[in-house]
């Protein structure tokens, strides 16, 4: 390999490194998308111009950040531009509620209307809730989802434990209701049953039937959830 090629390879490696951030459990990649025009109406011959923007893709694993945390990743995302997009690809068994709440705050305040969540495999507990945060929510025929109540514990003096548990339950369950109940992904009766211990397990057809998924990725093509359900009936 000549010296010129070595320099080019090193530049490419460094550039890729700048476009990637790792926490212990999640990885963020960013890609600059050039400006382009998209056909809106073939009949009227109208186009919509999409400006140059950055596409952020985050691979989501377990919500258990103890050491490095998500400071670098969230700093990058909070500095995003008004046209930038966020894609969360989920394969998660769940984890800390507070970490999922950080994503919820970020999406609502920085990427509202520009967030896509993809359930690549499993989305349990907090993984399921983060999937529900997307404006566009994509599953595959192999996707698996589960809602349940939070679990946890407390240590300290009796009165402190009682106050902490009461506050924690109200705070967390309001958060769950904002995501699950507000969008009618579970009925009120189902939500109450969830809060007393029932788990709700769902595969792709039920995720689509409930309106949790908006699209399905199948055989390399993205189709609407309603079309996917019609195909299953055939």
- Predicted confidence (pLDDT) per residue in 125-135, tens digit: 999 999 999 99
53-to-25, 134, 185 alpha-carbon distances in Å: 26, 19, 32
Closest CA to 92 of 177, 148, 25, 191: 25
What span, in angstroms and rounded, lies between the C-alpha atoms of 8 and 16? 12
Instruction: Give the number of C-alpha atoms closer than 13 A to the C-alpha of residue 31, restricted to the C-beta side.
Output: 8
- Note whether 128 and 167 are same-domain residues: no
- Note whether 116 and 54 are same-domain residues: yes
- Note whether 155 and 219 are same-domain residues: no
pLDDT digits (tens, 9 = 90+) for 43-94: 888 888 999 999 999 999 999 987 767 899 999 999 999 999 999 999 999 9
Whether 162 maps to a domain, the answer reads: yes
Number of domains in the chain: 2
Whether 104 maps to a domain, the answer reads: yes
Whether 175 maps to a domain, the answer reads: yes
Whether 43 maps to a domain, the answer reads: yes
5: helix, coil or strand? helix
Whether 6 maps to a domain, the answer reads: no
Interstrand relation of 46-50 and 36-41 (parallel, antiparallel or unpaired)? antiparallel
Whether 7 maps to a domain, the answer reads: no
- Note whether 192 and 212 are same-domain residues: no
The β-bridge partners of 138 are 118, 215
Whether 2 maps to a domain, the answer reads: no
- Note whether 75 and 176 are same-domain residues: no
- Note whether 83 and 176 are same-domain residues: no
- Note whether 168 and 221 are same-domain residues: no
DSSP annotation of 63 reads B
Confidence (pLDDT) at 168: 63
CATH of residue 210's domain is 3.90.226.10
pLDDT digits (tens, 9 = 90+) for 169-216: 788 899 999 999 999 999 999 999 999 999 999 999 999 999 999 999
Instruction: Give the number of C-alpha atoms closer than 13 A to the C-alpha of residue 185, restricted to the C-beta side.
Output: 27
- Note whether 210 and 169 are same-domain residues: no
- Note whether 32 and 137 are same-domain residues: yes
- Note whether 40 and 120 are same-domain residues: yes
How far is C-alpha 18 from the geometric centre of its chain's CA atoms? 22
- Note whether 111 and 85 are same-domain residues: yes
- Note whether 124 and 210 are same-domain residues: yes
Please provide the average confidence, as pLDDT, over all residues in the chain: 89
Q: In terms of C-beta density within 10 A (0-12 exposed, 13-18 middle, 19 or more buried), how is residue 30 classed?
A: middle
Determine the structural domain holding residue 183 and report its residue range.
150-196
Which residue did the predictor score with more confidence, 22 or 116? 116
Which residue did the predictor score with more confidence, 15 or 80? 80
Whether 132 maps to a domain, the answer reads: yes
């Amino acid at each position: 390999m000549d010296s010129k090629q070595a320099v080019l390879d090193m530049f490419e490696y460094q550039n890729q490194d700048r476009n990637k951030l790792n926490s212990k459990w999640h990885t963020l990649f960013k890609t600059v998308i050039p400006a382009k025009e998209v056909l809106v109406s073939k009949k009227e011959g109208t186009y919509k111009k999409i400006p140059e923007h950055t596409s952020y893709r985050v691979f989501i694993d377990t919500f258990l950040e103890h050491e490095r945390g998500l400071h670098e990743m969230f700093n990058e995302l909070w500095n995003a531009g008004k046209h930038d997009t966020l894609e969360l690809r989920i394969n998660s068994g769940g984890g800390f509620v507070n970490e999922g709440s950080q994503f919820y705050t970020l999406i609502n305040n920085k990427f509202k209307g520009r967030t896509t969540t993809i359930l690549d495999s499993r989305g349990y507990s907090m993984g399921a809730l983060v999937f529900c945060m997307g404006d566009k929510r994509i599953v595959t025929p192999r996707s698996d989802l589960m809602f349940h109540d939070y679990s946890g514990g407390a240590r300290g003096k009796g009165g402190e434990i009682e106050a902490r548990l009461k506050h924690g339950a109200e705070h967390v369950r309001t958060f769950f209701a904002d995501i699950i109940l507000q969008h009618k992904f579970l009925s009120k009766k189902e939500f109450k049953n969830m809060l007393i211990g029932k788990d709700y397990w769902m595969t792709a057809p039920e995720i689509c039937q409930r309106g949790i998924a908006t699209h399905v990725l199948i055989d390399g093509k993205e189709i609407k959830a309603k079309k996917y359900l019609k195909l299953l009936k055939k």
